[in-house]
Structure 1
Amino acid sequence: MDSTAELRMWSPRERSDHTAFVEGDLLYVWGGYHSVAGEEVFLPSDEICLYDMSSGIWETRAMTGDVPPSLSQTCGCCLNGVMYIFGGCNDNGHTNQLYWVNLLDGMFAWRKVTESKGTPPSPRDRHSCWVYRDRIIYFGGYGCKQLREVNDSQSFITDETSWATIGTALFRFWGWNNEVHVYDPITATWNEPQTNGVPPTPRAAHCSATLGSRGYVCGGVEATAMDMHFLDLESWTWTKVIPTSTVPVGRSWHTLTAVSDSALFLFGGLSATGKPLSDAWMFDVQTKEWTELEHPHRDQPRLWHSACLGNDSDVIVFGGSRDYTLLMDTISFLQSPSQSHCSDVLVFQTQPYPLIRLCEDCIGRNSRILQEQLLWLPPKFQEIIQKRTSCFRAAAKSQERSIPLL
């Protein structure tokens, strides 16, 4: 068997709470965790998976350098081909460390930011970020603060079920925040801009997306409904969006993806009643209307998944949990063992395809009956069709593996 065939048959391990980005035709997937004998196990942080969206072929690359520890609920983003990982937690507690790795030089060598100016955010997880004008803007999350940081704070809601002491004197509290922190990679500088307007309530496990000069955020834990807000990243002014249509049910651990200059795509998550969701919605930022979309993945709910913008405005969803269970009381969420993490790729078409894409897909789906005619095509177009054929076959095999046995 040749190496191409081996790559075609390989697929990454199922996972949730991972980081994913699209650069060119490649989807990069890093980190996360999966279940082994009912226990949640972190996936190695010294490897990264690459998915060719044109061919459906996966491969994995080793990573070196200042490899981050295994983390849960970290926040990742990609800026100019560089992946940044900030925050998260593990058995040692919450962290506010920042790591970066160049995805384009082929080396995949991690670097830890050890010298930066300004004050970094406090340790946290389940936060989000926007990328704008070569800066990373972090919002919200759940984490710990010292007593002096909590007093008289309007940007932090204390989780009264979770607090501790260090030694006999220093108290540390956990809770949700709605803070905004900016990191400039060029100058390695942190700052906390003064915002105007009415900010969203403190929250975590929400979703966010950058659209033009606005950073949008909606939903999350401690948010009572599917509210939508945006921060003007030029004036630092918050605005609450008042929808003009039916609104999706409140949720957390969902995704929000900018798919055009005026549209945001929302998928999945966990409802306020603890139900995994599989609905998809489009939000028009100009008309402020939510529109529920029909799609072929209604029987595949997801939470803690990733969603990235692919070619031709496709949204590429990878991994996540489909029947994760949370035990809830009136105050907090208590996590119970996960049953089913995923490793499949779901593709959502959000815009009409161009004619060339329709032709490529049609030939790729029917390549077996068009074998003789394929030889008439120019060599470069033959390569494109070969990738599309491989992609459809890989998708069919993945669907076969995902069908439960009766």
Structure 2
Amino acid sequence: MDASVEPSPRYGQFSAVDGRHYMWRGYGPGRGSNIIAVYDPSTELWSLLPTTGPLPPGEAVGCSVCVGRCLYTFGGSDESSYFNDMSKLDLDTLQWTKVQTSGSQPMKKTGCGLVRVNERTLCCFGGFGIEGTTQPGSTFTKIGYSDGRGWTNKFHFLDTQNGVWSSPELRGERPPCSNFTFTMVDQHRAVLFGGWQSGRSRVNDVYLFNFSTMEVTKVKPVQGEPWPVERSGHAACCLNYGQDHPQLLVYGGLDNGNKPLGDMWILDVDTVQWTEVTPPESMTPRHYHSITATSLGPGLTEVLVFGGLRERLGDHAIAETTILRFEMRLLAEVRHPNLVQFIGAVFDQSPPLIITELLDMNLRQAYEENQLDPGNRLSIFMDIALALNYLHQRYNPIIHRDVSAPNVLLQRMPNHQLKGKVSDLGSANFLQHAHTMGEGAIIYSPPEVIPQAFDPLTPPLRQSVKIDVYSYGIVLCEVTASRFPSAEHYRDMILQVQRQRPAVYELILHCTKREPSHRPSMAQVMVELNKIAPF
């Protein structure tokens, strides 16, 4: 990326995407400029391009969306005024025009949302500003300013072909008023998350808009389930628009203590289940930043993160560009409740940084810190077996090749039990391409792997899923004995398990037989586990 043409630091900027990422205005050195920044995924470069025509009056915290080869922008504010102008930028000529509108005009406001419902219809919702016309079912809450400023949860539709605003009936509970995210996820649905309520508190409810039925459904946080904290000033995008199980990515914002957030979450829109993921270290806590997403081909989505504020107020605007790529095919193809979910990768560093869901601890940490409750070991053994059986039973079986206690992560469930999830599929190969290359710790490796691990010139041996079965047997011994399975201590450990848990001892011996064909399948392992009493 050519750093000489990167956009200047800013926050509260306008942004949109149509295959390329567009960004302009915002508070910072470039405010009031006619320059639009364009990031092209094919060249991985920014361009700073001058626009012509009457510039939109709003400088920051407005909203925008692309429709065809036009970019529409609405509202926003400067240091003293709010606006309700709708402007349009021709993306071929880079010329602005003011859209002449009529009908039920939205009020002058900032912090609102704008989505494209279809090729001719936009929906504008909520915001903070100067009271306008009344709307049945909506509220406007003044907050003491002499000019009547306040919060609204009104919504309006704009027909871009004739410029007419309208306010059709919307059934259901209206969402919060301002500084939320409002994102289309398919041709009929949008998701609104977080934002300010009129009572000056931030929220973390999810609202599902269905524009086919004109209904909105509120989903409250579920106690004990992973869920983001209350926030406003965050950013969001859809990772796989219009596909099965659309995913909403949410990052950053301000919490109710006015602290900038640096967490990242993905919402499965169909199930309304959240997964917390680990962002790159370069993505520091921030708010009033922008996120845009575009498809790079079947199953691959590129996300661009730019700008924002590191502090609640002040001149701490960010000028960093972060590119994330999300492999949605892997998200869809390798999904199991006992596998750590692969989310995506950051490709602007070497090696690429893998992004996965965020969990509490690994299995080795759990037994070393006495975190395993009675009965929990056996349930975790079953969790690992279920995950490996899923990988092995696929049409194209996958060998994990690095099964170990540190690669089993644990999630604390509402009943306080720990759920095991197998992680680090980075060494995994599809069976048809699999050969022994020495991945994983030697102590977990079966005999058929050892020669090639020590001597790279040894011809690689054909692998089978029984490599994972052997490693699984070593994990059984390690966790049952609560000791690291070093070569010098392994014999003592296996004798300890024989004395304390004879049934587990027999299963370990079966899993770690020298001849791969003599080892059980993971399906057979699960049958044996069901015969063992919890411990």
TM-score by length of 2: 0.56
Alpha-carbon deviation of 1:347? 2.4
Partners of 1:253 and 1:138 in 2: CA distance: 17
- The answer on 1:27 being equivalent to 2:10 is no
Residues 225-260 of structure 1: CA distance to partner in whole angstroms, max 9, x if unpaired? 200001211121111124552211100011121112
- The answer on 1:231 being equivalent to 2:209 is yes
Partner secondary structure for residue 287 of structure 2: coil
Amino acid across the alignment from 1:119: S
Partner secondary structure for residue 261 of structure 2: strand
In the superposition, relative to structure 1, how do residues 195 and 126 fare at CA in structure 2: closer, same or farther (>3 Å)? same
Alpha-carbon deviation of 1:45? 3.5
Match runs of 1:4-403 below 5 Å: 9-24=4-19, 26-34=20-28, 43-69=31-57, 71-103=59-91, 105=92, 107-114=93-100, 116-134=101-119, 135-145=121-131, 149=133, 155-164=138-147, 173-201=148-176, 203-212=177-186, 213-222=188-197, 224-244=202-222, 245-260=225-240, 261=243, 262-297=246-281, 300-310=284-294, 311=296, 312-325=300-313, 338-351=314-327
Partners of 2:151 and 2:30 in 1: CA distance: 24
Partners of 2:278 and 2:208 in 1: CA distance: 26
Partner secondary structure for residue 315 of structure 1: strand
In the superposition, relative to structure 1, how do residues 243 and 249 fare at CA in structure 2: closer, same or farther (>3 Å)? closer
Q: Name whichever structure is richer in helix by fraction.
A: 2
Partner secondary structure for residue 9 of structure 1: helix
In the superposition, relative to structure 1, how do residues 295 and 42 fare at CA in structure 2: closer, same or farther (>3 Å)? closer
For the Cα contact (< 8 Å) 2:181–2:236, is it kept in 1? Answer: yes
In the superposition, relative to structure 1, how do residues 18 and 158 fare at CA in structure 2: closer, same or farther (>3 Å)? same
Query: Which position in structure 1 is the counterpart of 2:380?
Result: none
Alpha-carbon deviation of 1:160? 2.6
Partners of 1:275 and 1:18 in 2: CA distance: 20
RMSD (Å) for aligned C-alpha atoms: 2.5
Q: Name whichever structure is richer in strand by fraction.
A: 1
Query: Which position in structure 2 is the counterpart of 1:335?
Result: none
For the Cα contact (< 8 Å) 2:14–2:61, is it kept in 1? Answer: no
Partners of 1:299 and 1:75 in 2: CA distance: 23
Amino acid across the alignment from 2:303: V
Partners of 1:339 and 1:8 in 2: CA distance: 21
For the Cα contact (< 8 Å) 1:45–1:68, is it kept in 2? Answer: no
Residues 59-84 of structure 1: CA distance to partner in whole angstroms, max 9, x if unpaired? 21111112223523221111112111
Partners of 1:179 and 1:349 in 2: CA distance: 35
Partners of 1:322 and 1:285 in 2: CA distance: 29
Query: Which region of structure 1 is more displaced relative to structure 2, 176-185 or 86-95?
Result: 86-95
Residues 255-282 of structure 1: CA distance to partner in whole angstroms, max 9, x if unpaired? 1211123211110111111111110001
Structure 2: 5+ residue runs without aligned partners?
A: 331-345, 352-535
Amino acid across the alignment from 1:137: C
Structure 1: 5+ residue runs without aligned partners?
A: 35-40, 165-172, 326-337, 355-360, 367-406
Alpha-carbon deviation of 1:32? 0.8
Which of structures 1 and 2 has the larger relative contact order (alpha carbons within 8 angstroms, sep 6+)? 1
Partners of 2:202 and 2:350 in 1: CA distance: 45
Partners of 1:49 and 1:174 in 2: CA distance: 32
TM-score by length of 1: 0.73
Alpha-carbon deviation of 1:15? 0.7
| Matched residue count | 320
In the superposition, relative to structure 1, how do residues 299 and 258 fare at CA in structure 2: closer, same or farther (>3 Å)? closer
Amino acid across the alignment from 1:273: G
Partners of 1:91 and 1:308 in 2: CA distance: 26
Q: Could you say which structure has the larger radius of gyration? A: 2
